[in-house]
Amino acid sequence: ESIKLFSNAYLALRISFFNELDTYSYEKRLRTDKIIKGVCLDPRIGDYYNNPSFGYGGYCLPKDTKQLLVDYKDIPEALIEAITESNQIRKEHISKCILEMANRFNINSHDEKNNTAARCQKNVCIGIFRIVMKKNSDNFRDSSIIGILDILKSSGAEIIIYEPLLSKEMSYRNNEIVNNIDEFKKRSVVIVANRYNTCLDDVKHKVFTRDLFERD
């Protein structure tokens, strides 16, 4: 049991590390892909599990990292706790970036000085492209993009979701499902994609993703 918990905590740590690297590069206007490739030339680090994302998710990493943190009760630690905190901070940062992008695209926005991201989203439609935990998955459990979705929803934005695994007659967390890809792309001011797909190439200018290497 300890082997499994520590293995998944390490994978969560690695994801969080490269996500924080990406956050740093994004804020400093640096090339995340070049920095990651350079860092990963070190054979001790290796070129794997290093593609930035909206955070770690799924049915193992969040659960096992939290379980390990519980097991550390009364045992000195700082790193394990920081992993879970880092993942939440990443989601908040990504959400802020998406709202800023939507803010720029909001044609109804006139007052740049007072037009905060949270205020301007009332009439803006943000599209969520897939809510699965990773590529080639049919699992939504603890998917990182769901946390992003909830933060965006709380800002006042209208949310629509493109998810072929869900019927258009359904809703997800009280958000509309739009599985006609052309309608989805047309209605979305910004399209949020944890993992990119070439079907978005024609609207790439309004896609927000940190999928730099187009792989999990």
Residue in 134, 129, 121, 123 with CA at minimum distance from that of residue 185: 129
| Dist. CA 39–CA 46, nearest whole Å | 8
Annotated catalytic residue, options 60, 97, 120, 199: 60
Concerning whether 97 is annotated as a catalytic residue, the answer is no
Residue in 158, 11, 40 with CA at minimum distance from that of residue 99: 158
Contacts 24+ apart (CB under 8 A), 134-138: 134/57, 134/58, 134/195, 134/216, 135/195, 135/215, 135/216, 138/165
> Where in the sequence numbering do the catalytic residues fall?
60
